[in-house]
Structure 1
Amino acid sequence: MDKKVYNRIKAVLAEQGRTNKWLAETLDRNINTVSKWSTNKMQPTVESLFEIADALQVDVRNLLISTKKES
C-alpha cells in the first residue's frame, strides 16, 4: 500500500537548503517530531503548519499537497 503524502515540508526545506535540525531549533520542537512531519509519518497541527510556513517564509499552501487534480 502506498503511503499518503500530505505535506511538502521536506521538499520546501530542501529547496531552501535548510534541514530538519534547523526547523526544530527555529520552532523549539523536538527533532524527532520535525522528522516525522518531513517524512509524512505524522502531520503537524494547523497551528504548527502556520508556524512552519512563517519560519520558512512561504505561504502555508506551499506546504501542502494539492487535492485538485490536474486535467
Structure 2
Amino acid sequence: MEKEMINRLKIVLAEEQKSSKWLAEKLGKDRATVSKWVTNTMQPDARNLLRIAAALNIDAGRLLNQKHLKK
C-alpha cells in the first residue's frame, strides 16, 4: 500500500535546493524527526509547519498537498 503524501516538504526542499539536514539544523530539531516529516511518516504540527515555512521564506500553503485538503 502506498503511503499518502500529506505534506510536500520533500518536494519544496528540492525546489528550494535545501536538505533535510539543513532544515533540522535551522529548526534545532533532530534529523530523524525531520526525516519522518519529509517521508510523510509523521506530520509536523501547525507550529512547526509555520517555522518550516519561515525558515524557507515561503507561504505555509506550499507545504501542504492540496489534494489531501479537498477530501
TM exceeding 0.5:
yes
Identical aligned pairs, as a percentage?
Answer: 51
Q: Which runs of structure 2 are paired with 1:19-58 in the superposition (5 Å)? A: 19-58=19-58
- Normalising to structure 1: TM-score of the pair? 0.92
Match of 1:14 in 2: 14
More helix by share: 2
1:31 Cα offset (Å): 0.3
Q: Which has the larger radius of gyration?
A: 1
**5+ residue gaps, structure 2:** none
Q: Could you give the per-residue CA deviations for residues 6-45 of structure 1, whole angstroms, max 9, x where no partner exists?
A: 0011111100111000000000000000000000000000
The runs of at least 4 aligned residues of structure 1 exceeding 3 Å deviation read none
Residues paired across the two proteins, number: 69
- Normalising to structure 2: TM-score of the pair? 0.92
1:54 Cα offset (Å): 0.3
**5+ residue gaps, structure 1:** none
